[in-house]
Amino acid sequence: MWVGFVVVLIASVIITIVGWLGWQERLPRGYFAGIRTKYTMANDEQWKAVHRIGAPYMIFGGIAAFAGSLAIFPFAVFGSLPDEFAAAALFAMALVVGGTGLMSWYLGVRGAKAYLANRPSEMATPGY
């Protein structure tokens, strides 16, 4: 059972790093990491906006899953947890990791579309 907690720990670290890189706008647009949809893959501006808005959810969820898994990990390694409790805790941490990805995708795309639609045009001539 402890192997599952190691997998969740690694996944939460990866989500946190991807979120941090996206927030810092240092995550390159590609097919390996990040929020990859038709909208985000269309151009760099949309990619950066989605990750800038969705990144805090990825960071928070990754840290929450890491903390929860790390708190239970020693008990799972030494076998002092009932199997039912360990399975339920592992399932809950996996839900946090998965929910983090879905929430950052949905809120990031929605927020980026609203932000990019409402920003002033760079081509407009002010005061004329």
Q: Which residue in the block uniquely carries the two structure tokens 């076998």?
A: 79
Q: Which residue has the higher pLDDT, 99 or 121?
A: 99
The answer to whether 100 touches 62, Cβ cutoff 8 Å, is yes
Return mean pLDDT, the chain. Answer: 87
Summarised one tens digit per residue, pLDDT across range 48-69 is 999 999 999 999 999 999 999 9
The answer for residues whose C-beta is within 8 angstroms of residue 75's C-beta and 6 or more apart is 81, 86
| Domain positions in the chain | 2-29+36-116
| CA pair distance 104, 106, nearest whole angstrom | 6
- Which of 2-11, 12-21, 31-40 has the weakest average pLDDT? 31-40
Assign 128 a pLDDT band (cuts: 50, 70, 90).
Answer: very low
Q: How far is CA 70 from CA 2, 9, 111, in A?
A: 11, 7, 32
